[in-house]
A and B are shown apart, each in its own frame.
Chain A
Amino acid sequence: MGTDGVKQDAVEHEQVLETAAAWKAAGRGVALATVVATWGSSPRPVGSQLVVEEGGDFVGSVSGGCIEGAVVTEARRTIADGQTRLIDYGISDETAWQVGLACGGKCEVFIEPVE
């Protein structure tokens, strides 16, 4: 990952949190998804975040793109019912190959409402 990755992480933290605050201030339903654990080769480090609003717009990332769709769907459920969710994602060998990773990456994502 190197220098760019480190800097990118810092910038992303700001963007995700600021976007969460801005969407909330605009009266929208908002949920935050955070990678809380990884096993094997996982595309994004622990602490990576994605913020989702009720219409399905999102900023940030929790993977190389493999699980964002699924996470956004779960996050919209969280916005609707106010419940936190802790979900395990395995990254399929085929998908892992496509994003240039060794096989078998896994990550755990925590989804919570911003309220």
Chain B
Amino acid sequence: MKTALLEQLLADRVAKRQVVLATDLATGDGRLLYPEEGQGGDAALLDAARRVMVADKSGIVETADGRKVFLHVYNPPLRMLIVGAVHIAQPLSRMAMLTGYDVAIVDPRREFATQDRFPGITLIDAWPDDGVDAFAPDRRTAIVTLTHDPKLDDPALIKVLRSDAFYIGCLGSNRTHAKRVERLTAEGFGAADLVRLRAPVGLDIGAKSPAEIAISVMGQITESLRRPVQVAAGLAAGAAAGSAVGAAE
């Protein structure tokens, strides 16, 4: 590996840029591929890099001209920010940790956000918009708002909608969400922004208990992570049809 390439790779990691290192196993020639940005290689190689990146699985591919190339995925860590240290946050934060996410919960209400209730979880004692700023969401971040209190959820969502977060889920009924959409529209967000909000949150699996709701949310986040193209297409189609995509209340 060339030193210049190593330095660039380290800089990309610091910038939390998603990068795939392609190394020719016969010659040792390396190059950095940026599938999200469409940079670094030809279409076939970028396509292969996108697949391994989404699957989070490094591996060897064979190019059209018969070369063996190792595609090494350097994804930034998966992270989740939960807004609201409420009951559902307890199973959700634990399941997210098991799934491999670095989890933080923001809630300015100290009686909710206690280490006793959330052992091992980072607790951010701040107003949710400041909490989002501190957490600095990137494209490997999932955000879930759970307070369904506009004065806590909305400031967070206003910040989150301007981030690259791959998933934004909001607890609350269809009616709650319709009002939320009205308020955020008044804040200047358009349909293309608001279609990113998954509400009512979670997959429609009939979840009742907090743990079951956490499962439906974790399932929806996993789908967004692993099938980004299909999920984006589904959301766009749902928005075009004027129907909500997501779970029942």
Contacts and interface: CB of A to CB of B under 8 A. Distances in A.
Contacts, number: 66
Interface in B63-87: 70, 72-74, 76-78
Contacts of A13: 13, 74
Given A13-B13, A84-B28, A3 B57 contact: no
A24 interface: yes
A36 interface: yes
A77 to B, nearest CB: 14
A32 B60 contact: no
B25 A86 contact: yes
A2 interface: yes
A114 B25 contact: no
Interface string B1-40: 1110011011001000000000101011000000000000
Interface residues of A, number: 25
Nearest to B100: A6
Contact of A7 (B23, B25, B74, B102): B102
Interface of A: 2-3, 6-7, 10, 13-14, 17-18, 20-21, 24, 32, 34, 36-37, 46-47, 84, 86, 110, 112-115
26 contacts: A2-B98, A2-B100, A3-B100, A6-B77, A6-B78, A10-B76, A13-B74, A14-B13, A17-B6, A17-B13, A18-B10, A21-B6, A21-B7, A34-B23, A34-B72, A36-B60, A36-B70, A37-B59, A37-B60, A46-B57, A46-B59, A47-B73, A112-B23, A112-B28, A114-B1, A115-B3
